[in-house]
Structure 1
């Protein structure tokens, strides 16, 4: 293990690196990985309790604590109450990251490695980091997939958690991934029609773009020949507070311009920077099931017939052939799609956890549907709910969500 201490303006940043098992609980497997976290405190806050932040994804590292426009919007609020632990989840950032260089080991070996990067293993890493820091308990802030990981935490190690704060991350518990992706299509249908009611002329713009895509005439700077399914995935932007602006900008542009091609490349989800986000995404809903390209299989008839309907986090197997960044990962993705994932959550243990804290549930969330979030919330009667239509899925990053949850958890009136 190693620790480095840095000062950045009025912040103290301790960088911690631990060596942990790749496979927790198997004494015969001697493979190890490194886990990295930065512990951030404001001057005078060095004795505050810890709050570990669990990032969305899966497949994204924690944000970096720079005291500037790159710092997450919620960090200043968190540092008033906590020392914040920014953990790079295994396989990301500085926690033995997974990348294209690993493919030289062979698809079967890489796929097997990835099966050990799920939420339950991240919880074991958290426990190792908590013990390393000497904290009897700590609180957790779980955004999106980080909320899923928090539910896994409550399934095994609830006694380690003081308060839990969950934003857009009350996942379905015990449901098949098909249930989730089918409901996400319903959410995207609603979001699509809401967008076209505001900008009706853009429906025809989208039809023209689909025709260009079908003709192979939209080629991105990285060489991708954009398929209609990839084009429609620009709708994932509608899951964020200002995402409609990105869609509007694309549908206003001349598709022959550099600006359109670069902006489209940046607007579509699952880029090559974090291959885990694409290869590993459906596993986040695989609570005891194989996914078998769930989002693709559950596509409703009207989405097949009307290409102007946007899609969100709906992955397609064809992208392993049409997207240059994903093509090298094809065999890994196909293997994981057939993998029988173990259960992540234990509903009875969650319900018996006595967890306290607060959770934000977004009414219009196109990624983590409100209906299943409310179903899961019933397992956590002492975690107070804020159900709101003020924000989309990225509310933590774009609005004062965390202060409201802290106030709610401690019985103060919402600001």
Structure 2
């Protein structure tokens, strides 16, 4: 257990081994890493909150300065930053370390992450703790509260209250609908952007453009930059990317090198392959059956989202994609190509274990508060509201002030609001 100081706060590193398969410890262990930050005014009674990162497939933050939601929590909590299994220092999964089987990867969802967290709580000698989860972290919290009724005092969810009685198709129908509305807002603010998107896509359909990583950029891969529309400053960031993408060379258009570099960075999963591999699996077991590339299937049924939508047909809409994963990404992204067969197996898997228990949520004594964003294009408002009704005590805050990554924009204020909700009514 290493210890250091960060701006006067003690930082402790925790490492434990946890079962790869919690139901069968004979199958060996994997490492689990967490970084604990202790407040300067630490007392024996200082409460502990576990932060569950969004994803899946991303490690917990590496704080270099103390601000936002982390500083707010540190004012009166010990804060534990967990690297969820398969990320960071908890046995990161990537091509360089070897591609696990699809069966192994079924143990990298919410249920296994929460079982890991329970072992970490016991390792820390805690009877109870609180939970704070952003996005997928809220999915983990909802499973945690379905499974471990005596472990949590308070739970705070931001942009991450999942549907618990719907299939992945319904999730994606809602997200595409919200993304359509967000495009309209984008095109109102930047009227030239739609023409630019169509022109770039048409160009990529007819000319070879090579990313700095050596892969040909397709129009469908380019369209995944639309994930930016789900972020608070996303309209501006996307507009800056699009404002001048072309060179003219010998009378012929070609994409600029800086544009190709930036699009390549935004559309590669080199830093987090597990996110792409596991993304639709987090919806498996909510209802029975396979997810079966739900985002891709639903897209084909909606105007403007088809993979083969014609960017030159001005009579039809033409949209970018959001937080959606497609099977062709495992062909086009070099970071994902070695995972193609396991991703296909996961998409076909039908017998996922159930993740959420409405009756258990109705009985769990934890006091919960959730920031539910009206314009969230990743976690649908309608499904979050439906789920909120199942909790014994969940206090929703529905806001149009933020988008999905609200805590990145105004984390301290959001945390204060959620904590006050759990204490003051």
Tell me the TM-score normalised to structure 1 length: 0.93
CA distance in 2, matches of 1:63, 1:326: 23
Contact kept in structure 2, 1:189 and 1:310, CA below 8 Å:
no
> How far apart are 1:90 and its partner, in Å?
0.5
CA distance in 1, matches of 2:67, 2:356: 29
| Equivalent residue in structure 2 for 1:179, among 170, 177, 201 | 170
Q: What does residue 249 of structure 2 align with?
A: none
Q: What does residue 344 of structure 1 align with?
A: 355
Q: What does residue 45 of structure 1 align with?
A: 42
Q: What does residue 419 of structure 2 align with?
A: 406
Q: Tell me which moved more, 338-347 or 141-150.
A: 338-347
* Structure 1 runs of 4+ with >4 Å offset: none
Structure 1 residue runs without a partner (length 5+): none
> How far apart are 1:46 and its partner, in Å?
4.9
> How far apart are 1:380 and its partner, in Å?
1.8
Q: What does residue 278 of structure 1 align with?
A: 276
CA distance in 1, matches of 2:56, 2:298: 21
1:245-256 equivalent positions in 2, closer than 5 A: 245-255=236-246, 256=255
Structure 2 residue runs without a partner (length 5+): 247-254, 312-317
CA distance in 2, matches of 1:94, 1:321: 28
CA distance in 1, matches of 2:202, 2:310: 12
Q: Tell me which moved more, 216-225 or 36-45.
A: 216-225
Contact kept in structure 2, 1:45 and 1:79, CA below 8 Å:
no
Q: What's the secondary structure of 1:178's corresponding residue? A: helix
Q: What's the secondary structure of 1:298's corresponding residue? A: helix
Q: Tell me which moved more, 362-371 or 299-308.
A: 299-308
Contact kept in structure 1, 2:52 and 2:60, CA below 8 Å:
yes
Query: Is 1:380 equivalent to 2:388 in the alignment?
Result: no
CA distance in 2, matches of 1:306, 1:147: 37
Contact kept in structure 1, 2:49 and 2:77, CA below 8 Å:
yes
Query: Is 1:314 equivalent to 2:313 in the alignment?
Result: no
Change (3 A) 1:184 1:310: same
Aligned residues: 401
> How far apart are 1:217 and its partner, in Å?
3.1
Q: What's the secondary structure of 1:301's corresponding residue? A: coil
Query: Is 1:15 equivalent to 2:13 in the alignment?
Result: yes
CA distance in 2, matches of 1:72, 1:56: 18
Contact kept in structure 2, 1:102 and 1:110, CA below 8 Å:
no
CA distance in 1, matches of 2:324, 2:127: 40
Change (3 A) 1:59 1:410: same
Query: Is 1:161 equivalent to 2:152 in the alignment?
Result: yes
Q: What does residue 325 of structure 1 align with?
A: 335
Tell me the TM-score normalised to structure 2 length: 0.91
Contact kept in structure 1, 2:369 and 2:396, CA below 8 Å:
yes
1:73-92 equivalent positions in 2, closer than 5 A: 73-92=68-87
